[in-house]
Amino acid sequence: MKRGMLLTDNRPVTSGGTSPAVPDQPSPQTSGRGTLMVRELSTTFRSSGREIRAVRSVSFEVHPGRTLVLLGESGSGKSVTARALMRLHGPRAVIQGDVTLGEVDLLGVDDATMRGIRGARVALVPQDPSAALDPLRRVGGQITEVLRLHDVVPDKAAARTRAIELLGQVGIPDPERAFRSYPHELSGGMRQRVVIAMGISCDPEVIIADEPTTALDVTVQAQILDLFAELQRRLDTALLMVTHDVGVAADIADEVAVMYAGSIVETGPAREVLERPRHPYTQALLAAIPTPDVARGELVAIAGSPPMAGEDFPGCAFAGRCPFVQDSCRTSPPPLVVVESGHLAACPVINPVTATTPVVGPSTESTR
């Protein structure tokens, strides 16, 4: 789904449609770039004798030239998932599962190898460029450091030339001036463009963008989304974007994975998921979007609150807020049911499971 697509018909739907085989095999790779494959990824934080399970058995894949959006409200595990792929959580995090880029096992390589992969093959565009950029160093020096660290250029002069080219590629009007500037001398939108320039400096195979438009006004946000789309077309990069903004997902996503309480509860082609949601949480999330025909002061809200971080639950995490809840929802983790071609939802109530229904497996692990 790309810019200009309208969201329609967010009412609950019943099971139906085709029943294709579960999409568990990677698609053919293009341009020699690898597919990012994530299988059963779980992340647990250990602190003061407690274990906080922030991400639970998440699986997805991102292909070259495609955009997958991780969508969900704050605390759903989106950013934890994104940073776990790059092993950025530190020694208190236990990361389990399989994460591969092409033939490389990102969770299995040693720390030195992983440092070489970060930035060169997998790049992170953070949510807050002001926190990511060193306020005491000029912008140009921070970009040239990345280029020299990964041996992209042979010398300092070439690094300067390349850095200015990158600033121009991301749409900064006077790249030479920006090269000489400190971060505080640039606007928020320009600082975001700088960290994007750093992200693409080594021509990575995958860009992970963690809420890159959150602090920007709507005009600058649209420019940044257009920039990501243009860079992706030019570089054939796989893009994994984290956002809580349904509008951003509608603008840029090819595929969407909706997260709730650390698990993916619905995933599939963006148009299918956003126009024909098949999980009660996705339906409620889309129903909460304000529309011109809603009377003033009558916004729709999702009843209740999401589970606390790391809270264990034997059944569906959304059961306490779900209008369709049944007794079985509270005791058994729901499987991901294939409801359309490539479209899966973890709700056997709305999507009844029959003997011929393809099922991937539980969307969450049961309490141990």
pLDDT for residue 81: 96
Q: How far apart are CA 119 and CA 310, in angstroms?
A: 30
Contact 7, 275 (CB under 8 A): yes
In a domain, 259, yes or no: yes
pLDDT: which is higher, 303 or 286? 286
Same domain (yes/no): 105, 148: no
pLDDT for residue 357: 63
Instruction: State the average pLDDT over residues 26-44.
Output: 75
**Host domain of residue 53:** 36-121+204-362
Whether the predicted pLDDT of 366 surpasses 70: no
Q: Find the range with the poorest average confidence among 2-11, 39-48, 217-226, 267-276.
A: 2-11
Amino acid occupying residue 142 = Q
Q: Which residues are bridge partners to 71 per DSSP?
A: 243, 258
Contact 259, 76 (CB under 8 A): yes
Same domain (yes/no): 264, 342: yes
Same domain (yes/no): 144, 278: no
* Residue 307 binned pLDDT confidence (cut-offs 50, 70, 90): confident
Same domain (yes/no): 113, 226: yes
Number of residues written out for the chain: 368
Please give the distance of CA 245 from its chain centroid, rounded to a whole number: 12
Same domain (yes/no): 46, 181: no
Q: What is the mean pLDDT of the chain?
A: 86
Q: What's the Cα-to-Cα distance from 240 to each of 19, 37, 165, 260, rounded to whole Å?
A: 27, 12, 24, 17
* Residue 361 binned pLDDT confidence (cut-offs 50, 70, 90): low
pLDDT for residue 176: 97
pLDDT cut 70: percent of the chain above it: 87
In a domain, 107, yes or no: yes
Domain end point (choices 202, 230, 251): 202
pLDDT tens digit sequence for 88-143: 998 999 999 999 999 999 999 999 999 999 999 999 999 889 999 999 999 999 99
Give the tokens for residue 263: 């698990």
- SS3 assignment, position 309: coil
pLDDT for residue 355: 52
Helix axes 139-149, 156-169, angle to 10 degrees: 110
pLDDT for residue 19: 31
- Number of domains within the chain: 2
Same domain (yes/no): 151, 266: no
Contact 99, 106 (CB under 8 A): yes
pLDDT for residue 45: 94
* Residue 340 binned pLDDT confidence (cut-offs 50, 70, 90): confident
Same domain (yes/no): 270, 175: no
- The residue whose two tokens read 């000489």 is 180
Q: Find the range with the poorest average confidence among 108-122, 129-143, 287-301, 316-330.
A: 287-301
Instruction: State the average pLDDT over residues 344-361.
Output: 77
Same domain (yes/no): 154, 110: no
Whether the predicted pLDDT of 362 surpasses 80: no
pLDDT tens digit sequence for 132-189: 999 999 999 999 999 999 999 989 999 999 999 999 999 999 999 999 999 999 999 9
Which among 363, 364, 367 has a CA at the least distance from the CA of 314? 367
pLDDT for residue 1: 53
Domain end point (choices 202, 218, 251): 202
Domain end point (choices 144, 168, 202): 202
Same domain (yes/no): 182, 283: no
CATH number at residue 216: 3.40.50.300
b (16+ CB within 10 A) / e for 58-89: bbbbbbbbbbbbbbbeebbbbbbbbbbbbbeb
Whether the predicted pLDDT of 337 surpasses 60: yes
pLDDT for residue 218: 86
Same domain (yes/no): 64, 135: no
In a domain, 23, yes or no: no
E strand residue ranges, 12-91: 36-47, 50-62, 67-71
The helix (run of H) or strand (run of E) holding residue 239 is strand 238-243
Q: How far apart are CA 115 and CA 109, in angstroms?
A: 10
DSSP string, 244-296: S-HHHHHHH-SEEEEEETTEEEEEEEHHHHHHS--SHHHHHHHHTS--TTSPT
Which residues are CB-neighbours of 190 under 8 A, at least 6 positions away? 172, 178
For residue 156, which phi and psi values (nearest 5 degrees)? Answer: -65, -40
pLDDT tens digit sequence for 197-240: 999 999 999 999 999 988 788 888 888 899 999 888 888 999 99
